[in-house]
Structure 1
Amino acid sequence: MDITDFYDTFFEEAEELLSDMERHLLDLDVDDPDPELLNAIFRAAHSIKGGAGTFGFVVLQETTHILENLLDHTRRGELTLRRDIVDTFLEAKDMLHEQMDAYRNGAEPDPVAFERICNTLKQLALDELGKSMGEPTEQAAATPEPEAAASDADSGKSPAAEAGDGGDVLRVSLLDVGEKDRQLLVEELGQLGTIVSQQGDAKRYEVDLTASVSAEDIEAVMCFIVEPEQLAIERVARPAAKAAEVQAPAQSEPADQAAAKPVEEQPVAKPATAGSGASTDKPAKAAENKAAAAKNKASESSSIRVPVDKVDQIINLVGELIITQAMLDQTASEIDGVTHSSLHNGLNLLQRNARDLQEAVMSIRMMPMDYVFSRFPRLVRDLAAKLGKDIELVTEGKSTELDKSLIERIIDPLTHLVRNSLDHGIEMPDAREAAGKPRGGKLTLSAQHQGGNILIEVIDDGAGLSRKKILAKAESNGIAVSDSMSDDDVWQLIFAPGFSTADQVSDVSGRGVGMDVVKRNIQAMGGHVEIMSREGHGTTTRIVLPLTLAILDGMSIKVGEEVFILPLGAVLESLQPSRDELYSMAGDDLLLKVRDEYLPVIALHHVLDVADARTDITESIVVIVQGEGRRYALVVDDLVGQQQVVVKNLETNYRKVPGISAATILGDGSVALILDIADLHRLSRRKSTPRSAVTNTPIQEVIPS
């Protein structure tokens, strides 16, 4: 068996453990730390160390070993937590992540960084515990403390044997485990305690050992090699005679072998103290731990790991199925429904099943927003400390789901928005107090579904945007502005390239790069950004995204002989305009008045050069659409109907086409282009649609107020 086949599994599980470790460290109350959180952090480090040792990742194993020892002292109450100590643990977690990335890419971790973090952790141990942790190697870690060595020499017992004098042992049963894996497991158990006896066969192999670690700790290490259901751990009574037999081999063990066992790997049992977080209600605590372990096992056994490319393949096949079903529907529409009623009934059933299948498959790609939001507590904590601000982070809608391809691309734009809110938005504590606000600021990240979209908001209770300052900065940058601009238009100015109102440039923000990239990236995902702000009361930045980019509900429209698809989420209404609702502005620009709102008219046949289309707007249909937070009047010939379409990337298969976001295959096998509303408007402005393109009769030239 090639052990490298399991690298990916180790890296995935180690990533999850590091994420859990960071989350638990951030949740710790340094004044009154939760023992369960401390135990969970320790178990995460111990599990990573065990897996790293199994796969031969020496640097990762040694770094985790030193961190694990400090965490063990912390959970025993021997090391008192402070904020700076938690910061050191977080720094160590970051280093573990870098080392793991190096091994994942087939390289060795940076030795300088490794030495630096090891020295930092050892210095912390020296300062806080008053003793050396030794070098980060097996040989150095094997050196016992002088007093402990002398005590052991006098008594003739090893530390592990001392720990095993209690009379009870843990029996670890390995069920249906192969010989090679069994050897690895037994070796690891020997590192966790003293093996009393071992016996059995391939079907059930029992190992009795004395150890001060819990059954949960043992299971966390073992699960890197076998599944949870292949383990059974129970506490059994050990006869007094058996206890005496254990000490004999310990006494006769060669000195060099005894020295080769790390002292930290042979913990000495200590009485529980109030400071160690031990519970006086042991039966209740044991029952609670057992229930939690059962819940974890149930959740693990009810899920499987599937590569993303396999899910993508299934989604593509479902897309092809939907296209085939549309073709059958179109063919069946030409057949008499009375004579072939059974065929039509079968096709209707196929349509329902295909849609249910599509929704079920798409849900596999959906991930909760907690995947994104969980990255920000650390960012807010570190950046707030750097800026000298006290900021509370609130997250809402963490269970809201979004397509995996979008959820990974939204992380960078959100990170930039959060950094902007922390640096520019929320004021310094003294300034907030002077303005009658609490000294501590509040930053809220929220996510919710709205129709076929997801709304993600970054809300701060800071100073808000200054309209006057933005207009002045825009004017100095050569951007055409006027005092009559609406607030929404003014706020959109901050997305201009090179635009920044920061008084001074810092390493956090203020260089005028980033917001334009945020907008561009979100538009590339089929979404748009909206900003709402009140000066002195805070700012809300809203990102609107489609739930998925694979399949969408669209409206088919016809221009000339061409069929196009409008995303249904962008369509607001459709109407047939009259001539008195049309207004000319600034020469050839045409506006359509809809309920006291003047909308730019986009003649689709002119913008996309479609032949044989209607040229009189009063004989055409206008579809009111929305893109990038603005509304437009799109002139088309006919509305064909609503249908579900499979999105095909046009750039991958052809090239980028202005005004077009993607393509799809219709039921008759022809290709239809999916329109990009915002890009259509930009294209229309560049081509300067003449009035004659949409009306042959002069209209009133009125400049709307």
Structure 2
Amino acid sequence: MEKLLLAVNVASPDPEDLNAVFRAAHSIKGGSSTFGLTDIAEVTHVLESLLDRIRQGQMALTSEHVDAFLAAKDVLKSMLDGHKHGADVDQGAVADVRRLLEALSQGKSSAPAKAAAPAAGGVPVAPGGVCRYRIEMPVIADKDAEALADELAMLGKIEKTKSPEGQWVFILDTAEPLDDVVAICAFIVNVADLKISQAVESAPSADQERGYGFFDNFVTQEERERTQGYGFFDNHTAIEDKEREQGYGFFAPFVPLDISAKKPDAETLSQPHPDDAPLAVTEHAAAEKKAAKAAAAAAAGHESSSIRVSVEKVDQLINLVGELVITQAMIEQRVGKLDPMTHEHLLNSVSQLSRNTRDLQESVMSIRMMPMDYVFSRFPRMVRDLAHKLGKQVEFVTHGAATELDKGLIERIVDPLTHLVRNSIDHGIELPDARRASGKSEAGTLSLSAEHQGGNIIIEVTDDGGGLNREKILAKAKQQGMPVTDNLSDAEVWQLIFEPGFSTAEQVTDVSGRGVGMDVVKRNILAMGGAVDIRSSKGFGTTISISLPLTLAILDGMSIRIGEEVYILPLGYVVESLQPLAQDIKEISGQGQVLRVRGEYLPLIPLYQIFNIEPSFTDPSQGLVVILESDGKKAALFVDDLIGQQQIVVKNLESNYRKVAGISGATILGDGGVALIVDVAALLRSSRQLNDESVFS
């Protein structure tokens, strides 16, 4: 329903779109009535009546109607969550939306009963309905707690205390949804470690009327439920009369239903949610029976061609395939020493096993893959609400929604993308007057795209706004004491916005301005083995490009040797390898060595010094160097020897042992030994801190 409402053309709506929205509402009403969720059915009945008048041409569709329908969708979702998970439902918001729909049905303005504007992606809160949240944090650094408290203060009034155990406790009074509170906390701490409890504060009369909290009028609440027909009370006859009057259930004057004409909700089928099965809806109009049967057949095909499996089972399967890959590597290493003439059949069989193992591994990994639409579908509503709030016009476009990414990564990319999208609307796209003055259309375009490039996925957030202001960024950087010069390249200037605490916002708003976020966005992307890049042109817009590996479970790596130790370099970072000439190696006083490669000077990193290992060679011209590239910067890694390229199964070192600096994980080699996987991004960052960047620029 939301997807159709966001896409509808208010000036000349497509009749089929209006019919589809009506069918969705009818489906919700019928389903909720069937299962005794009378409160949902009552709201949907009013919604359905208004939709019916619009689709029959008795009333023209307006943007006010669309706003009301979206508010109703949020309220219905909150009510469903209340039944499903026992979550608190803001009955004031429910009443406001119902009054709004009734007023619009009668052709009145919505001003007397204006529904509260919902926050992006959240549930609307009734005006004056302030929730008090008690947020217990895990043990975090004081500076992180202060930054988080400042950010939460944008949502309302906050009090902070520290427990004797060193844990921070925040008391937040806010009218914003809990989703917004959790989303802000997620940038600093793991959401699973949070403990959030809630009490609702409102005026006493409203509390007594609505039954929020723990008050003495519980009997009154029960009486209210009895009169409204929630539950199983003695006035069942009255409820039945009301249902018959409003058309719930199978009462006169409705024609008896043809069970074969069950019609699945087309919108539900087109985007099945992992937690929800498609809901069949019975349609009374004889003219739509044929279409209903076709959709029912499609639903049957959809259900029979898929199976729901828990993520734990898929992860267990992937682990087993990983062990199989390791075992196959061991077999290959053993048979590699055999005489190929004598053991020809055995070697052929092992070769066939290798191909089958790789095919199996690719098939199993594809089970974890999910389309980017899982992420993209969250943004149209958020963009619409945020643009409306800021007084801007934004057209939202997506490309490559079918592009697939590992489930583990797709869940971790949601928060960084959300921040980048909000930033583009707030800072990138100009107000309509400013756009018109610069010869642009009043509506800005914001696009999200995803595509595969080799073993990576490239996700881009692009806006056609004003672009980044080089002079303003440099001035702000100098003001904050950053070591910058005017001869920095544009790419280096753009990277400054990812520095902690950096913000060019003129004033702090609840959208952005504190400089908390962009540095966390970059840190989160780097932690996923990705990279982030910015391209901007003043007056024409900005593109922020994120590159991520398709999966973190199994990757292609290059084995290198230093002394007696074997390490793995992820192949995605490797550019080339070579044996350097003595004249290409230069010593810089106090800065270490650099290597000249085709006229470019790269910092030379001796891996044996980083990991304190006794090497075979200390002279780079006797060993080998591997040219690595991460985050747009290159370095030459000095190693003793290259062993070869192979597929490796990544094992988490932190959960099995402890975190090791410069190491991102471990793997088991064909000979049964353990090799550590080098954290190339961290290695290059530490190298740039140890060396003067101006020498290599």
Q: What residue number does 1:339 align with?
A: 342
Q: What residue number does 2:258 align with?
A: 171
Instruction: Give the distance between the partners of 2:314 and 2:477, measured in 1 at CA.
Output: 47
Displacement, 1:141? 7.4
- Provide closer, same or farther for how the CA distance between residues 129 and 40 of structure 1 changes in structure 2, counting only shifts above 3 A: farther
- Asked whether the equivalents of residues 66 and 136 of structure 1 are also in contact (C-alpha less than 8 Å), the reply is no
Instruction: Calculate the aligned-residue CA RMSD, in Å.
Output: 3.7
Q: What residue number does 2:10 align with?
A: 30
- Asked whether the equivalents of residues 172 and 232 of structure 1 are also in contact (C-alpha less than 8 Å), the reply is no
Show structure 1 runs of 5+ residues with no match: 1-20, 153-157, 174-213, 236-266, 273-281, 690-701
Output the amino acid matched with 2:25. Answer: A
Q: What residue number does 2:439 align with?
A: 436
Structure 1 residue 80 and structure 2 residue 94: aligned?
no
- Provide closer, same or farther for how the CA distance between residues 615 and 227 of structure 1 changes in structure 2, counting only shifts above 3 A: closer
- Asked whether the equivalents of residues 630 and 684 of structure 2 are also in contact (C-alpha less than 8 Å), the reply is no
- Provide closer, same or farther for how the CA distance between residues 678 and 220 of structure 1 changes in structure 2, counting only shifts above 3 A: closer
- Asked whether the equivalents of residues 395 and 446 of structure 2 are also in contact (C-alpha less than 8 Å), the reply is yes
Moved more, 558-567 or 53-62: 53-62
Which residue, 504, 508, 522 being the options, matches 1:501?
A: 504
Displacement, 1:491? 0.8
Structure 1 residue 593 and structure 2 residue 680: aligned?
no
Displacement, 1:142? 6.3
Q: Which has the higher helix share?
A: 1
Which residue, 94, 98, 102 being the options, matches 1:122?
A: 102
1:98-247 paired onto structure 2 within 5 Å: 98-127=78-107, 161-164=252-255, 170-172=257-259, 215-216=262-263
SS of 2:263's equivalent in the other structure is helix
- Provide closer, same or farther for how the CA distance between residues 505 and 332 of structure 1 changes in structure 2, counting only shifts above 3 A: same
- Asked whether the equivalents of residues 397 and 448 of structure 1 are also in contact (C-alpha less than 8 Å), the reply is yes
Which residue, 510, 515, 527 being the options, matches 1:512?
A: 515
Instruction: Give the distance between the partners of 2:495 and 2:464, measured in 1 at CA.
Output: 20
Post-superposition Cα deviations, 1:580-634, rounded to whole Å, max 9, x if no partner, equal 2223446223222222222222111111212234211111111111112211111
Instruction: Give the distance between the partners of 1:218 and 1:598, measured in 2 at CA.
Output: 62
Structure 1 residue 628 and structure 2 residue 631: aligned?
yes
- Provide closer, same or farther for how the CA distance between residues 137 and 606 of structure 1 changes in structure 2, counting only shifts above 3 A: same
Q: What residue number does 1:329 align with?
A: 332
Tell me which structure has the larger Cα radius of gyration: 1
Post-superposition Cα deviations, 1:122-170, rounded to whole Å, max 9, x if no partner, equal 343344599x9xx965888767799x99xx9xxxxx9954444xxxx64
Structure 1 residue 419 and structure 2 residue 429: aligned?
no
1:387-466 paired onto structure 2 within 5 Å: 387-466=390-469
- Asked whether the equivalents of residues 584 and 703 of structure 1 are also in contact (C-alpha less than 8 Å), the reply is no
- Asked whether the equivalents of residues 460 and 540 of structure 1 are also in contact (C-alpha less than 8 Å), the reply is yes
Instruction: Give the distance between the partners of 1:527 and 1:227, measured in 2 at CA.
Output: 35
Structure 1 residue 574 and structure 2 residue 577: aligned?
yes
Q: What residue number does 1:676 align with?
A: 679
Q: What residue number does 1:309 align with?
A: 312
SS of 1:618's equivalent in the other structure is coil
Output the amino acid matched with 2:258. Answer: R
Post-superposition Cα deviations, 1:278-314, rounded to whole Å, max 9, x if no partner, equal xxxx6xx766665454334323322222222211111
SS of 2:6's equivalent in the other structure is helix
SS of 2:501's equivalent in the other structure is coil
- Provide closer, same or farther for how the CA distance between residues 55 and 651 of structure 1 changes in structure 2, counting only shifts above 3 A: farther
Instruction: Give the distance between the partners of 1:328 and 1:580, measured in 2 at CA.
Output: 44
SS of 1:457's equivalent in the other structure is strand
Relative to the length of structure 1, the TM-score reads 0.74
- Provide closer, same or farther for how the CA distance between residues 93 and 71 of structure 1 changes in structure 2, counting only shifts above 3 A: same
Structure 1 residue 40 and structure 2 residue 127: aligned?
no
- Asked whether the equivalents of residues 263 and 293 of structure 2 are also in contact (C-alpha less than 8 Å), the reply is no
Instruction: Give the distance between the partners of 1:228 and 1:647, measured in 2 at CA.
Output: 37
Which residue, 78, 89, 97 being the options, matches 2:69?
A: 89
Count how many residue pairs are aligned between Structure 1 and Structure 2: 570
Q: What residue number does 1:609 align with?
A: 612
Q: What residue number does 2:473 align with?
A: 470
SS of 1:617's equivalent in the other structure is coil
Displacement, 1:519? 0.4
Instruction: Give the distance between the partners of 1:459 and 1:324, measured in 2 at CA.
Output: 45
Instruction: Give the distance between the partners of 1:142 and 1:75, measured in 2 at CA.
Output: 29
- Provide closer, same or farther for how the CA distance between residues 704 and 116 of structure 1 changes in structure 2, counting only shifts above 3 A: closer
Relative to the length of structure 2, the TM-score reads 0.74
Output the amino acid matched with 1:520. Answer: R
Displacement, 1:703? 5.6
SS of 1:600's equivalent in the other structure is strand
Displacement, 1:72? 3.9
1:254-265 paired onto structure 2 within 5 Å: none
SS of 1:619's equivalent in the other structure is coil
SS of 1:491's equivalent in the other structure is helix
Structure 1 residue 380 and structure 2 residue 383: aligned?
yes
Q: Percent identity?
A: 57
Output the amino acid matched with 1:388. Answer: G
Instruction: Give the distance between the partners of 2:338 and 2:614, measured in 1 at CA.
Output: 32
Instruction: Give the distance between the partners of 2:549 and 2:264, measured in 1 at CA.
Output: 43
- Asked whether the equivalents of residues 326 and 669 of structure 2 are also in contact (C-alpha less than 8 Å), the reply is yes
SS of 1:552's equivalent in the other structure is strand
- Asked whether the equivalents of residues 533 and 546 of structure 2 are also in contact (C-alpha less than 8 Å), the reply is yes
Q: What residue number does 1:698 align with?
A: none
- Asked whether the equivalents of residues 264 and 296 of structure 2 are also in contact (C-alpha less than 8 Å), the reply is no
- Asked whether the equivalents of residues 43 and 217 of structure 1 are also in contact (C-alpha less than 8 Å), the reply is no
- Asked whether the equivalents of residues 574 and 621 of structure 1 are also in contact (C-alpha less than 8 Å), the reply is yes
Instruction: Give the distance between the partners of 1:390 and 1:364, measured in 2 at CA.
Output: 39
Q: What residue number does 2:532 align with?
A: 529
Displacement, 1:428? 1.5
- Asked whether the equivalents of residues 423 and 509 of structure 1 are also in contact (C-alpha less than 8 Å), the reply is yes
Displacement, 1:505? 1.6
Instruction: Give the distance between the partners of 2:550 and 2:36, measured in 1 at CA.
Output: 42
